[in-house]
Amino acid sequence: MLQQIIAIFIIVFFIFRLIKQKKKKDINNNEFSLWLIFWLLALTAIILIKQIDSLVAWLGFSGEGINFLIYLAVLALFYLVFRLQLSLAKLDRDLTKIIRHLSLNDKKEL
């Protein structure tokens, strides 16, 4: 119970920070919505941890609901790293285009 309360406080803290970032316009609407949904789902999962225990057992997994959530979190992290790598690759490609453009233009000007 105490762990649940601590977890809820941490999540609420992050939601407040998120709202602050949005007010300062540090993040756009899409990012705000994505992270708000993420933290609200986390909050729901913490509040309904007993029900998740039952759901996990019903699905046939051994272990507690919290373990299941950790597995899901690891999967989500892998996916986010993958997305990050793809966006870095796109940025890298755009950087090459700029360098190429500058290189060809320099030649034209000489």
Partner 1 sequence: MKIICVIPAFNEAKNISQVVAEVRPYVQEVVVVDDNSQDNTAALAEMTGATVLRHLINRGQGAALQTGNDYALKNDADIIVHFDGDNQFLAAEIPDMVKPLLENEAEIVFGSRFLQKKADFPPLKKYLIYPLAKIFTRLFLGIKLSDPQNGFRAFSRQAAQKIHIDNRAMAHNSEIQIKAFQQKLKIVEIPITVVYHEFGQKLSDGLKIAKDLLIHKIIK
Tell me which residues touch partner 1 (CB under 8 A). 85-86, 89-90, 92-93, 95-96, 99-100, 102-104, 106-107
Q: Which is nearer to partner 1, 41 or 95 (CB)?
A: 95
Asked whether 32 and 22 are in contact (CB, 8 A), the reply is yes
What gap in Å lies between CA 12 and CA 99, rounded to an integer? 45
Q: Which is nearer to partner 1, 23 or 97 (CB)?
A: 97
We find the least distance from the C-beta atom of residue 87 to partner 1, in angstroms, to be 9
The residues near 18 (Cβ < 8 Å, ≥ 6 apart) are 27, 32, 35, 36, 39
Residue type, 79: Y
Q: Which is nearer to partner 1, 55 or 88 (CB)?
A: 88
We find the least distance from the C-beta atom of residue 72 to partner 1, in angstroms, to be 23
